[in-house]
Chains A and B, each alone.
Chain A
Amino acid sequence: MQRAFPWHLIFFLAPAVIIYTVFSAYPLLDTLRLSFFTDSESGERSFAGLSNFVTLLGNAVWSEAFWNAMWNNTQFFLIHLLVQNPIGLGLAALLSLKGLRGARTYRTLIFLPTLLSVVIIGFIWQLILSPLWGVSENFLYALGLGQYFDAWLGKESSALITLSLISVWQFIGIPMMLIYASLLSIPDELLEAAKVDGASPFRIFWRIKVPLILPTLGLVTILTFVGNFNTFELVYAVKGALAGPDYSTDIMGTFFYRTFFGYQSQLGSATMGATVATMMFLVILTGVMAYFYLVQRRLTRYQL
């Protein structure tokens, strides 16, 4: 007997597939297509092959801005990787301790900034760090560190680091929550057995807990990578689309924004913008693929 065609599969898949295709896959493909075209002065669009990419990477004016944004974005990501994720891991480890009082309150408080709008976060931190009205200067004086205070958001040397740390402060809740959930899923018998065997808490953490949550740490890393290379709002909210001083906080998102939409008297170019967007897509794709092929496949998974 011939089996009936599984219509229910189509029925259940359709909503997700249609929405994904219309709002995600199609725009992405169209962006890739657009990057091969160019607009003439009178607004007519014609096929241009790879010439946009040649301009972006070969023309000194464009390539300097592009690599500057790329390097800044890499720094932005590295700071998240080295500050946000270890602190997130530490917080999760502390929260998952048995008998910690007020664990729920801490968890909620630490996660709260993640729920706020980036624009609000940017505005609040701009005020906190303001040399004119901010509280941070007096706060540092109270700690006896007053001489170290500076206009961090305005200096070329410190603006990007400051913005990265603001972003870390805001999003620390996400790695914390993911790692916390995976720590909770470790069966108590394992930990109790280790304790009975005489392992110290420190040893239990490094030799039992961390290996078991490694896949989650990998996931957090890749989420951070994708998130950081797509980010835009914080820099735009605090420093504007020109990402000053002297483009020292310019990341791929703000660079794309200026190219695509234009800024002040710089006219926007949809095709050049699509080229930048394509490059962003390629960078993220390369990163994610490298992770999956080089890291993810070698991770040992334990059946719990």
Chain B
Amino acid sequence: MLSLKPTLSLTAALMTASLAVEAQTLTIESWRVDDKDLWQNILIPAFNQQHPDIEVRFNPTSPTEYDSSLNARMQAGTAGDLVTCRPFDVSLNLYRQGHLMALDDLPGLDHYQDFAKRAWSTDDGATAFCLPMASVIHGFFYNKEIFSELNLDPPETLDEFHAVLETVKSESRYTPLALGTNDQWEANQIVFTNIGPNFWQGEAGRLALINGEAAFTDAPYVAAWEEMARWSDYMGRGYPSQTYGDSQNLFALGRAAIYPTGSWDTSYFNDQASFEFGAFKPPVAEAGDQCHISDHTDMGIGINPASANPEAAKTFLNWVASADFADLFTNEVTGFFSLSTHPVEVNDPVAAEMISWRDECDSTIRLNAQVMNRGTPNMEQELWIVSSQVLNGDITPEEAAQRIQSGFAQWYEPKSE
């Protein structure tokens, strides 16, 4: 009986303490399972140095489940306070359903260029609902040791690219291209929309499709698939059942010379590859042609209107817009490039090489990311399927173009602006 009193007061103290903490807790929804440690050990502690009173939790879901589970949690009212936003339509839908807060009065938004904000604004560009966080740049990694062993230089043009592939194939036992089609998404996201912009002139070709001035069956788009159809000779044996993980291993073990990729893979190979690797940008048709790169606005962050702590959430977003965060994020989460206008020194050599392409080349986003994914059949999935079939040699580039165009025309009416 004697001990009862102190226990009671202790419990009461604990309860008040936990209430106080509860009032300032933010949970971040994200699909970046790989970055969990970075958030917990680096980014959140850095935020807490400036705002020790706000507790932040990073709560990732695996990428393919993310959109659906987030939707379900939003409807049930159990989603976190801060939401990592997919670009364009997925987030636009969330905003329309009232699951994302309009951010127009957020001062942090001033630190971003228009092209970055476009991915998370309404179609008329009037309202922003997520703060841009990071983009990924597409290109090719190459094994420097294999290249020097065979006296090869990183190719600039398509002819040089094919010459390199041919040399690796005929003069060594290495696999020229580490690429498989089992998981299908690579065929679109790191092949078709990686090499394609050089064929359809980047933004011009993308907007022409949206405006209805061009069709997928036009020469520039078919040409991108034609280029892919020529790759099958250089991919590993049995590539139709090679997974993304297999391709990563093949390149990391030094058994393949070239790896078509996105910048997010930089950190993986920094850890896994024992050799030096470099990056080259998607090859152009003729030397001296204007180059285009896929500089995809991939990740934003927004506020759940149902959040109990909207002020704390805004504080966090303004910190995300700061120069400190831009520097931390770009250099710690290697391969994701901050979209803010703060000048950032990139330390990693491969990531620095990739971000330098922004100066000489024109940037575009993935072909189908804006507007084109809204209908049924879903273009993203269709592109995965036809692009991997082209790589497998199961259909011709013309058939691929026809299937995409007819699916698109089923539901889309071009609105000329």
Interface string of A212-248 (1 = CB under 8 A from B): 0000000000000000000000000001111011110
Q: Roughly how many angstroms separate A21 CA and B261 CA in the complex, as a whole number?
A: 51
List residues of chain A with CB within 8 A of the CB of B389: 245-246
Known A-B contacts A244-B388, A246-B389; A42 and B67 likewise in contact (beta carbons under 8 Å): no
Interface presence of A153 (CB below 8 A):
yes
Do A245 and B380 contact each other (CB < 8 Å), given the known contacts A129-B241, A152-B241? no
The answer on a CB contact under 8 Å between B385 and A154 is: no
Contact of A262 among B68, B236, B249 (CB under 8 A): B68
| Contacts A151-B238, A154-B241, A267-B90; A239 near B182 (Cβ below 8 A) | yes
CA distance A133 to B182 in the complex (A): 15
Q: Which residues of A contact B381 (CB under 8 A)?
A: 242, 263-266
Instruction: Tell me which residues from 138 to 170 in chain A have a Cβ below 8 Å from any Cβ of chain B.
Output: 150-156
Chain B residues within 8 Å of A156, by CB? 392, 394
B246 interface contact, C-beta 8 A: yes
* Cα–Cα distance between A269 and B185 once the two chains are bound (Å): 22
Inter-chain contact A244/B71, CB cutoff 8 Å: no
Indicate if the CB atoms of B250 and A245 lie closer than 8 Å.
Answer: no
Contacts of A129 in B (CB 8 A): 241
B interface majority secondary structure: helix
Decide if B238 touches A132 in the complex (CB within 8 Å).
Answer: yes
Contacts of B165-195 to chain A: CB distance below 8 A: 180-185
Output the least CB separation between B119 and chain A (Å): 13
Measured CB to CB, the closest approach of chain A to B264, in angstroms, equals 16
Q: How big is chain A's contact interface, by range?
A: 20 to 34
* Residue A188 lies at the interface, judged by CB distance under 8 Å to chain B: no
Q: Do B236 and A263 touch across chains, with their CB atoms under 8 A apart? A: no
| Given A246-B394, A267-B67, A268-B68: A240 touches B183 (CB 8 Å cut-off) | yes
Which residues from chain B contact A131 at a C-beta distance below 8 Å? Answer: 236-239, 241-242
Type the 1/0 row for B43-80, where 1 means its CB is closer than 8 Å to any CB of A.
00000000000000000000011011101100100000
A213 CA to B239 CA in the complex, in Å?
A: 46
Distance in angstroms from B263 CB to nearest chain A CB is: 20
Could you tell me the distance in whole angstroms from the C-beta of B57 to the nearest C-beta in chain A? 24
Contact check, A262 vs B238: say whether CB atoms are below 8 A apart: no
Query: Which residues in A have their C-beta under 8 angstroms from that of B385?
Result: 242, 244-247
A242 and B72 CA atoms in complex are apart in Å by 20
Of all chain B residues, which has the CB nearest A261? B68
Docked CA distance A131–B373 (Å): 34
Asked if B238 and A154 make an inter-chain contact with CB atoms under 8 angstroms apart, the answer reads: yes
| Minimum C-beta distance from A140 to chain B (A) | 13
- A267→B378 CA distance, assembly (Å): 9
Which residues from A are CB-within-8-Å of B180? Answer: 154
A62–B377 CA distance with the chains assembled, in angstroms: 9
Number of interface residues of B (CB under 8 A): 46
Asked if B240 contacts A245 (CB within 8 A), the reply is: yes
Q: Is the CB of B182 within 8 A of A267?
A: no
Interface centre among A42, A130, A155, A266 (most CB of B within 10 A): A266
Cβ contacts under 8 Å, A262 to chain B: 67-68, 71
Chain A residues lying within 8 Å of B183, measured Cβ to Cβ, are 240, 244
Q: Which of B65, B184, B246, B378 contacts A244 (CB 8 A)?
A: B184
**Which A residues are in CB contact (< 8 Å) with B241?**
126, 129-131, 151-155
Which of chain A's residues 263-279 have a Cβ closer than 8 Å to chain B? 263-268
Q: Hey, which chain A residues are within 8 Å of B98, CB to CB?
A: 42-43
CB-CB nearest in chain B for A239: B182
Q: A154, B64: Cβ atoms under 8 Å?
A: no
Say whether, besides A42-B97, A154-B182, A263 and B410 are in contact (CB < 8 Å): no
B377: contacting residue among A61, A240, A246, A264, CB under 8 A: A61
CB B253 to nearest CB in A, in angstroms, measures 10
In the docked arrangement, what's the CA distance between A105 and B86, Å? Answer: 53
Given contact pairs A43-B75, A154-B182, A245-B385, A130 touches B238 in the complex (Cβ within 8 A): yes
Verify if A41 is at the interface (C-beta below 8 Å from B): yes
Q: Is B113 an interface residue (CB 8 A)?
A: no
Q: Is B96 an interface residue (CB 8 A)?
A: yes
Compute how far the CA of A240 lies from the CA of B180 in the bound complex, rounded to whole angstroms.
14
Q: Is B243 an interface residue (CB 8 A)?
A: yes
- Give CA–CA (A130, B236) in the complex, Å: 11
**Contact present for B394 and A245 (CB under 8 Å):** yes
Report yes or no: A245 in contact with B184, Cβ–Cβ below 8 A.
yes
By the criterion CB–CB under 8 Å, are B67 and A153 in contact? no
**Which B residues lie within 8 Å of A153 (CB)?**
182, 241
Residue of B nearest to A258 (CB): B381
Q: How far, in whole Å, are A86 and B3 apart by their CA atoms in the complex?
A: 72
Give Cα A183–Cα B123 distance, bound, in whole angstroms.
Answer: 70
- Given the complex, which residues of A lie within 8 Å of B182, measured CB to CB? 153-154, 239, 244
Q: How far is the CB of B322 from chain A (nearest CB, A)?
A: 31
Q: Is B319 an interface residue (CB 8 A)?
A: no
B65 close to A261 (CB less than 8 A): yes
| Residues of B close to A126: CB separation below 8 A | 241, 243
- How distant is B163 from chain A, measured CB to nearest CB, in Å? 26
Additional 5 contacts, C-beta under 8 A, given A131-B241, A151-B237: A41-B93, A42-B96, A42-B97, A130-B246, A263-B64
Which 3 residue pairs across A and B have the least CB separation, nearest first? A131-B238, A154-B240, A154-B241
Ordered by A's residue number, 19 sampled pairs between the chains whose C-beta atoms are within 8 Å are A130-B241, A131-B239, A133-B246, A151-B237, A151-B240, A152-B241, A154-B241, A154-B392, A241-B64, A244-B181, A244-B184, A244-B388, A245-B385, A261-B69, A262-B71, A263-B381, A265-B378, A265-B381, A268-B72
Residues of chain B having any CB pair with chain A under 8 Å: 64-65, 67-69, 71-72, 75, 86, 89-90, 93, 96-98, 180-185, 236-243, 246, 249-250, 373, 376-378, 380-381, 384-385, 388-389, 392, 394, 407, 410
Q: Which A residues have a C-beta under 8 Å from some C-beta of B?
A: 41-43, 61-62, 126, 129-133, 150-156, 239-242, 244-247, 261-268
